[in-house]
Structure 1
Amino acid sequence: MENINIFIKAVFIENMIFAYFLGMCSYLAISKTVKSAVGLGLAVTFVLTISVPVCYILEKFVLKAGALQWLSPEFKTVDLSFLSFIMFIATIASIVQLVEMIVEKYAPALYSSLGIFLPLIAVNCSILGGALFMQEREYASVVEATVFAFGSGVGWFLAIVALAASREKLRYSNVPAPLRGLGITFILTGLMAIAFMSFMGISI
């Protein structure tokens, strides 16, 4: 039951885009078509789902104060938590590089449409944010951390695909000239964020 609660919170209540506005640069840039939005959304979900549990294991067994006791009792006073940022970023960058190579090999058209934003997943705020939220919330197990990461990815995926679908429909709408492009996109994002705020009333 706890895992279901974590998942629902990550998708709807604590959505990376609409609650924390993390990963907005690629969210706004790639949401012009549903096809590219789906590709990037899946890539972000995959990277989150893999990187956050790996960061959890690093945090629990390497970085926290006393985490190295499993090596020897002599290391019980060692605290490597000051390396958290570096280790998390290195982990995320490695996984993004793996995703980039897979997409380039098996989906070259998608690789071209995503352009520079595929390798830039490494510096996507939602990925590092997921790792830091995991660290702050101190989940009880790697399973809970994985559920949180997957839920966060699904929430980000839903947000970018919903915006992309709306923007495709707006091409056939009579949008005032000053609001065309990013103007109407910001308005749409704000309205969607307000809509997602309604989920905060869910009692979990």
Structure 2
Amino acid sequence: MRIVLIFISAILVNNFVLSKFLGICPFLGVSKKIDSAVGMSMAVIFVMTMAGIITWFLNLLLVSMGLEFLRLIVFILVIAVLVQFVEFFIKKTSPSLYEALGIFLPLITTNCAVLGVALINVQTNYNFIEAFVNSLASALGFAMALIIFSAIREKLDLNDIPAPFKGTAVALITAGLLSMAFMGFSGLVKL
């Protein structure tokens, strides 16, 4: 039952973008088209899940050697290597997606949501299964928020919006409203 609660909590209640406000740069930057949002979502799901798993094991190694103070540096290095792998893979398999993602693909390295999930897994003393579920669910929550936001932004482009609200202004207002909608899930799960 605890695994299910962690899964639901990571997707809805503690959504990295809409509740914790982590990973806002790719959220705002890649959400203009659904195609690029889906591509970025797949990349983030892979990187965030793998980073959560690998850093959990590395944390065990660091703790056993008494080197916990190196945790942040090691975690950042793992994330950077994973992002380079994803960037290479996307560049080879889908050049159009690689072009659409542009600068935001390498920015996954500095996406605080990826580092956040690794640190949360360690700080909450999750066992391996819990860390895996939290990493995957957090990534799915990030993807869900990104795709929903992208769909809304595409619909907004078809509407007549007053000039002062066009572009970033309406995007930020929409993100705020979406965040408020997700606040409704806050009483759903208590861990």
What's the TM-score, normalizing by structure 1?
0.91
Runs of 5+ consecutive residues of structure 2 not aligned to the other structure:
none
Verify: 1:87 aligned to 2:74, yes or no: yes
Size of the alignment, in residue pairs? 190
- Distance in 1, matches of 2:128 and 2:51, equals 11
- Mapping for residues 31-110 of structure 1, pairs under 5 Å: 31-60=31-60, 62-64=61-63, 67-68=64-65, 79-110=66-97
Please, what is the CA RMSD of the aligned residues? 0.9
1:99-129 Cα distance to aligned partner (Å, 9 max, x none):
1111111111101100111111111111011
What's the TM-score, normalizing by structure 2?
0.97
- Corresponding residue of 1:113: 100
> Counterpart of 2:13 in structure 1: which amino acid?
I
**Secondary structure of the structure 1 residue equivalent to 2:118:** helix
- Mapping for residues 137-148 of structure 1, pairs under 5 Å: 137-139=124-126, 141-148=127-134
- Mapping for residues 178-197 of structure 1, pairs under 5 Å: 178-197=164-183
> Counterpart of 1:87 in structure 2: which amino acid?
V
1:138-164 Cα distance to aligned partner (Å, 9 max, x none):
10x211101000000000001111111
> Counterpart of 1:176 in structure 2: which amino acid?
P
> Counterpart of 2:67 in structure 1: which amino acid?
L
Provide the identity percentage.
41
> Counterpart of 1:30 in structure 2: which amino acid?
V
- Corresponding residue of 2:137: 151
- Distance in 2, matches of 1:122 and 1:23, equals 11
- Corresponding residue of 2:186: 200
**Secondary structure of the structure 2 residue equivalent to 1:20:** coil
- Distance in 2, matches of 1:110 and 1:8, equals 30
Runs of 5+ consecutive residues of structure 1 not aligned to the other structure:
69-78
**Secondary structure of the structure 1 residue equivalent to 2:37:** helix
Question: Is the Cα contact below 8 Å between 2:83 and 2:108 reproduced in 1?
Answer: yes
User: Offset at 1:19?
Assistant: 0.8
- Distance in 2, matches of 1:167 and 1:5, equals 31
- Corresponding residue of 1:6: 6
User: Offset at 1:6?
Assistant: 0.7
**Secondary structure of the structure 2 residue equivalent to 1:199:** coil
* Larger gyration radius, structure 1 or structure 2: 1
- Distance in 2, matches of 1:22 and 1:199, equals 18
User: Offset at 1:85?
Assistant: 0.7
